[in-house]
Amino acid sequence: MKIGIPRALLWSIYLPLWKAFFNELGHEVVLSPPTNKKILNDGVTACVDDACLPVKIMHGHVIDLMDRADLIFIPRLISICPREYICPKFIGLPEMIRNSVPGGPKLLVLDFNAHKSIRHGYDGFIAIGRQLGARESAVRRALARAMKAQDEYTARLLGGSNPLMLLEGMALHAGIGGNKGTIGLIGHPYLLYDRFVSMDACRKLAQMGYRLIFPENILPEQIERTCSIYPKKLFWSYGKHLLGSGLAMLEKGMADGIIVLSSFGCGIDSFMVELLQRQNQRDFRIPLTVITLDEHSGNAGFDTRLEAFVDMLEWRDHNGHYFSPHGEGLYIC
Binding site for another protein (CB under 8 A): 47-48, 50-51, 83-89, 91-92, 95-96, 99-100, 230-236, 262, 264-271, 273-275, 278, 281-282, 292
Q: CA angle, 183 as apex, 275 and 220 as ends, to 5°?
A: 60
Q: Give the residue with the Cβ less far from another protein, 173 or 282.
A: 282
Q: Give the residue with the Cβ less far from another protein, 73 or 236.
A: 236
- The rounded distance, in Å, linking the Cα atoms of 124 and 79 is 12
Beta bridge partners, 289, equal 259
Question: Minimum distance between the CB of residue 310 and another protein, rounded to whole angstroms?
Answer: 24
- The rounded distance, in Å, linking the Cα atoms of 239 and 236 is 5
Question: Minimum distance between the CB of residue 267 and another protein, rounded to whole angstroms?
Answer: 4
Look at residue 259 and give its three-state secondary structure: strand
Look at residue 145 and give its three-state secondary structure: helix
Q: How many CB atoms lie within 10 A of CB 149?
A: 18
Question: Minimum distance between the CB of residue 99 and another protein, rounded to whole angstroms?
Answer: 5
Beta bridge partners, 108, equal 73
- The rounded distance, in Å, linking the Cα atoms of 246 and 258 is 8
Q: Give the residue with the Cβ less far from another protein, 271 or 331.
A: 271
From residue 217, give the alpha-carbon distance in Å to each of 75, 188, 236. 24, 13, 19
Q: Give the residue with the Cβ less far from another protein, 101 or 143.
A: 101
Q: Give the residue with the Cβ less far from another protein, 115 or 140.
A: 115
Q: Which residues contact 253 (CB under 8 A, 6 or more apart)?
A: none
Residues counted in the chain:
333
Q: Give the residue with the Cβ less far from another protein, 85 or 153.
A: 85
Q: The dihedral of CA 233, 238, 239, 244: what is its sign?
A: positive
Q: Give the residue with the Cβ less far from another protein, 264 or 322.
A: 264
Question: Minimum distance between the CB of residue 77 and another protein, rounded to whole angstroms?
Answer: 11
Question: Minimum distance between the CB of residue 123 and another protein, rounded to whole angstroms?
Answer: 15
Q: Give the residue with the Cβ less far from another protein, 89 or 180.
A: 89
Beta bridge partners, 182, equal 211
Q: How many CB atoms lie within 10 A of CB 176?
A: 7
Q: Give the residue with the Cβ less far from another protein, 99 or 299.
A: 99
Amino acid residing at 213 = I
- The rounded distance, in Å, linking the Cα atoms of 115 and 85 is 7
Residue 274 is classified by DSSP as: H
- The rounded distance, in Å, linking the Cα atoms of 131 and 291 is 42
